[in-house]
Amino acid sequence: MQPFLRTSHSDVSARKTYDLLDEPTGPDYAGLLECALVQCTTAVLTLRPGEMDAEGQATIESLARFQQAKSTTAAGSLVRYALSRESVTVLQEATGGLYGWQHPGLPDNLCLYRGDGSPWLVSSAEAHIGYLEVSPFEKLLIGRTAPGLVAVLAHQSARDAILAYMERRFETNVASLTEQLTDYARIVIGDGREGLVDALEDWMRSGEEARVSASLEVARALQLVELRETVAGLLSAATGDDAAVPEVYRSVPALRSRWRIAHRRQLERVLRQLS
């Protein structure tokens, strides 16, 4: 059986590993694959055991004519595909983002390799982790093809990359906290609606990211229209380039921009629900 990775004899000393601070989606995802066409010859996907959605099956069928090799591992079957204009189009049309490659909707974890077998892109979609191994020249080419993508690259182990990983884990825990608070709020709202509204408003005005985010989602889930004016005030304060940003994001442009966009979108979503 043909191995997936061959020993590289090229000079790789100029290559560095760059973490993706955020998921490439839309034009950035499409641009990432356009860049890969120049640098890579192979795409690798993992076929996990179990039923796959119809869309995933259709994608596998579309890629079948590009298949080069298949290897069985404990995680499933690693399938290697030749990278070409046609196969890249299939990969671009299958999902709107890099972390869309998850079972059962699609095969898992899109990875891309150069002709010498060395990795160019490695991703773990379920964990929302991805990184590129590129030289300064390759990074320059990425900037020309997908300018938005360069903005979310950070040298691995640098402060930006470490902060991005910490933020993703933080967000996961806030989501879990929000679910628990929503369940609790459903229990107390019958006899304690006024107290619940007052408590959530205190959290919304706290300026602490986790408390603000969680309280907004509880208000949305329970349709607490009494908090509409408070949410509208927060949205007004969040509009504009001079809007307050948590201290931890201020020196990291990519994370600062990411937080502002996500915060405004959440406020807009909650306000629509309460209106």
106 within 8 A of 99, measured Cβ to Cβ: no
More confident residue, 255 or 120: 120
- Looking at the fold, whether 207 and 241 belong to one and the same domain comes out as yes
Strand, helix or coil for residue 126: coil
pLDDT in tens, 85-95: 999 999 999 99
Question: pLDDT value at position 101?
Answer: 95
Question: What Rg, from alpha-carbon coordinates, does the chain have?
Answer: 22
**Range name among 40-49, 67-76, 260-269 with the lowest pLDDT average:** 67-76
- Looking at the fold, whether 95 and 178 belong to one and the same domain comes out as no
Question: pLDDT value at position 136?
Answer: 82
Strand, helix or coil for residue 87: helix
- Looking at the fold, whether 123 and 55 belong to one and the same domain comes out as yes
Question: pLDDT value at position 161?
Answer: 60
Give the whole-angstrom CA distance, residue 237 versus residue 245: 11
- Looking at the fold, whether 152 and 167 belong to one and the same domain comes out as no
Percent of the chain with pLDDT over 90: 47
Q: Is residue 27 in a domain?
A: yes
pTM for the full predicted model: 0.60
Task: Out of 156, 191, 222, pick the residue that ends a domain.
Answer: 156
pLDDT in tens, 131-186: 888 888 888 888 888 787 776 776 655 566 666 667 767 777 888 889 999 999 99
User: Residue with structure tokens 């007052």?
Assistant: 198
Question: pLDDT value at position 13?
Answer: 65
Task: Out of 138, 156, 174, pick the residue that ends a domain.
Answer: 156
Q: How far is CA 236 from the centre of its chain?
A: 27
pLDDT in tens, 210-257: 899 999 999 999 999 999 999 999 999 988 767 777 777 666 666 677
In the chain, count H helices and then E strands.
9, 8
- Looking at the fold, whether 118 and 234 belong to one and the same domain comes out as no
User: Residue with structure tokens 């509208």?
Assistant: 232
Domain count, the chain: 2
- Containing 77, the helix (H) or strand (E) segment is strand 76-82
Give the whole-angstrom CA distance, residue 177 versus residue 42: 41
Give me the amino acid identity at 21: L
Question: pLDDT value at position 269?
Answer: 94
User: Residue with structure tokens 């590009």?
Assistant: 66
Question: pLDDT value at position 171?
Answer: 78
Q: Is residue 4 in a domain?
A: no
- Looking at the fold, whether 119 and 43 belong to one and the same domain comes out as yes
- Looking at the fold, whether 100 and 195 belong to one and the same domain comes out as no
- Looking at the fold, whether 132 and 40 belong to one and the same domain comes out as yes
Q: Is residue 7 in a domain?
A: no
- Looking at the fold, whether 147 and 169 belong to one and the same domain comes out as no
- Looking at the fold, whether 132 and 187 belong to one and the same domain comes out as no
- Looking at the fold, whether 58 and 170 belong to one and the same domain comes out as no
Q: Is residue 226 in a domain?
A: yes
In degrees and rounded to multiples of 5, residue 222 shows phi and psi of -100, 5
Question: pLDDT value at position 250?
Answer: 65
More confident residue, 72 or 153: 72
Q: Is residue 11 in a domain?
A: no
pLDDT at 267 over 50: yes
Cis preceding linkage at 246, omega within 30: no
Q: Is residue 96 in a domain?
A: yes
Name the token pair of 132.
């590129």
Give the whole-angstrom CA distance, residue 35 versus residue 141: 7
Task: Out of 131, 156, 181, pick the residue that ends a domain.
Answer: 156
Burial class (CB in 10 A: 0-12, 13-18, 19+), 224: buried
What is the DSSP-derived secondary structure letter of residue 274? H
Q: Is residue 9 in a domain?
A: no
- Give the mean pLDDT of the chain: 85
Q: Is residue 6 in a domain?
A: no
Domain of 235 in residue numbering reads as 161-274
pLDDT at 9 over 50: no
pLDDT at 78 over 50: yes
- Looking at the fold, whether 102 and 172 belong to one and the same domain comes out as no
